Structure 1
């Protein structure tokens, strides 16, 4: 006899997630840090390559540097701060001990497919850590802003060949209670068997536009935010994104053309 579970602690944690950008100054105890790092390690890993690493940032001056890169002051105030990287450097060292010449073309861990899979693994590990932290009553914010200047981030963290930064994660005790952002109607994101050929993906866009606009208006009426569709149109032509591409991956030893 099957039972349908509609509510459970893990589900409630996921449904209640929101980005926290203001933290109390309280340090996170070592037992909690151990639990969070263990949760990240238990995330799924493609072919068990374990091709990610996470750098915990504890040096205040380095936190300030990352805050400058991300152009977000609160990064420097996070009691717990990580940068997750895709990591084929460790596997290159291991492969060399087994007689693999990692400078040869047969070292395939530097090519596009493995780069993509390692990036996926890093994101899965970060998400596991984030969910674990939130289940313990902590607040988090994922930091894509650290990719504003990838070469500077690589230099700041001394990232070796065959590594590449993916995302940051700031964790701490919440010092704010932001409202939960509206989510897109499921009919716009979930489809059966094939991607729809009609207007299904945008059929409820007007309703969602109104909901998003109302959310931002209630949060700060003095700082109006465009409707969701207008935000998409603006971002679609934002050329600053060209500076955050994967062009720096080649300098890290990757060949994404294969």
Structure 2
């Protein structure tokens, strides 16, 4: 074990922050770490938008499902899959068309996620807390309009960063045998049963016995909210058109 592994294993989402601002030095370190992330073929197919305007943060909080910590956090970043800059580079050397086909869409999404995870780890190493905001995909067209996103750019998720003002329980993860396979995929439905009980115990402690639920029940509820609008939105932005 070392400090980095300990840091990674202690991760938890923070949704309540103090008023202490994130300093310019901290911000620069976080963003430098993000840009040092691995990237497919050096495309660096992502952008991040630092939202400093309070009114804009409030609008994004509402679009993300009325999550107050989006407007309250000291630092809010929106991570985007970005092929717009890639297209600009390609067009400097001819008229080769650039599309957001399935491969390029995957590259942009993965690049954004890798950069954001680097940023999250850097922030936590500085004593800050983070939470990812996938709720921006509830209203991606409206988010894109507010942020002025051009074609071939889309909001993957947001990220709140700040000094933690809470010490939440660490949510248990699936048993390793559910996600770890050797040589070929092996189905292990029993692991879900085991995890259901772990989540039930966790939720009872977290809510002082007010909530009795399981992972599979939460996943069943999520399956009823599929965000099917994303396909049409991505097509309008130039992705997955082939």
Output the TM-score relative to the length of structure 1: 0.89
1:110 shift after superposition: 2.3
**1:31 aligns with one of 19, 25, 29:** 25
Measured against aligned partners, the alpha-carbon deviations of 1:151-172 in whole angstroms (never above 9, x if no partner) come to 1001010001111111111100
**1:242 aligns with one of 217, 228, 241:** 228
Match of 2:238 in 1: 253
Match of 1:208 in 2: 195
1:109 shift after superposition: 4.2
Q: Write out the 4+ residue segments of structure 1 that deviate beyond 6 Å after TM superposition.
A: none
Q: Distance in 2 between matches of 1:40 and 1:217?
A: 36
Indicate the SS of the match to 1:201. coil
Match of 2:69 in 1: 74
Matched, 1:124 2:117: no
Q: Please report the RMSD computed on the Cα atoms of aligned residues, expressed in angstroms.
A: 1.4
1:225 shift after superposition: 4.0
1:94 shift after superposition: 1.8
Q: Distance in 2 between matches of 1:171 and 1:109?
A: 33
Does structure 2 conserve the Cα–Cα contact (< 8 Å) formed by 1:108 and 1:114? no
**1:232 aligns with one of 204, 219, 231:** 219
Q: Which has the larger radius of gyration?
A: 1
Q: Which runs of 5+ in 1 are unaligned?
A: 1-6
Does structure 2 conserve the Cα–Cα contact (< 8 Å) formed by 1:139 and 1:172? yes
**1:20 aligns with one of 11, 14, 27:** 14
Match of 1:62 in 2: 56
For 1:139-178, list aligned pairs within 5 A. Answer: 139-178=129-168
Matched, 1:221 2:215: no
**2:3 aligns with one of 9, 18, 21:** 9
1:206 shift after superposition: 2.4
Count of residues in correspondence between the two structures: 241
Match of 1:4 in 2: none
More divergent stretch after superposition (13-22 vs 201-210): 201-210
Q: Distance in 1 between matches of 2:183 and 2:226?
A: 36
Shift in CA distance, 239/96, structure 1 to aligned 2, threshold 3 Å: same
1:108 shift after superposition: 3.8
Output the TM-score relative to the length of structure 2: 0.95
Does structure 1 conserve the Cα–Cα contact (< 8 Å) formed by 2:81 and 2:109? yes
Does structure 1 conserve the Cα–Cα contact (< 8 Å) formed by 2:87 and 2:98? no
Does structure 2 conserve the Cα–Cα contact (< 8 Å) formed by 1:142 and 1:167? yes
Q: Distance in 2 between matches of 1:43 and 1:247?
A: 30
